[in-house]
């Protein structure tokens, strides 16, 4: 099986970065609770122009597809 990753990008200042970090934790919770992402520490990268990149790994292709139809996941 090929790994499926999700990458989300956004430019942010310091206050936004801290808020974004907390939001990301809350956003990943429905994915984790529903068993849609692998259990590893998600990675958040920051580019030199303050772009934040969140990376996590889907449990499977089916999990990714399920996430895009889940009413608990769609709002995030």
pLDDT tens for residues 11-37? 666 777 777 777 767 767 777 777 888
Residue-range domain boundaries for the chain: 5-67
- Report the pLDDT value the prediction gives residue 73, as an integer from 0 to 100: 76
d(CA 70, CA 21): 23
Q: How many CA atoms lie within 13 A of 48 on its CB side?
A: 0
Average pLDDT over the chain, rounded to an integer? 75
Question: For residue 39, what pLDDT band results from cuts at 50, 70 and 90?
Answer: confident
Q: Taking Cα atoms as reference points, which of 76, 75, 12, 11 lies closest to residue 56? A: 76
Question: For residue 76, what pLDDT band results from cuts at 50, 70 and 90?
Answer: low
Q: Which DSSP helix (H) or strand (E) runs through 48? A: none
pLDDT of residue 1 exceeding 60, the answer is no
């Amino acid at each position: 099986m090929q790994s499926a990753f999700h990458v989300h990008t956004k430019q942010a200042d310091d206050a936004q970065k801290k808020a974004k970090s907390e939001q990301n934790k809350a956003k990943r919770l429905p994915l984790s609770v529903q068993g849609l992402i692998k259990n590893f520490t998600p990675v958040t990268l920051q580019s030199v122009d303050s772009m934040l990149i969140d990376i996590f790994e889907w449990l499977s292709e089916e999990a990714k597809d399920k996430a895009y139809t889940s009413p608990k996941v769609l709002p995030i």
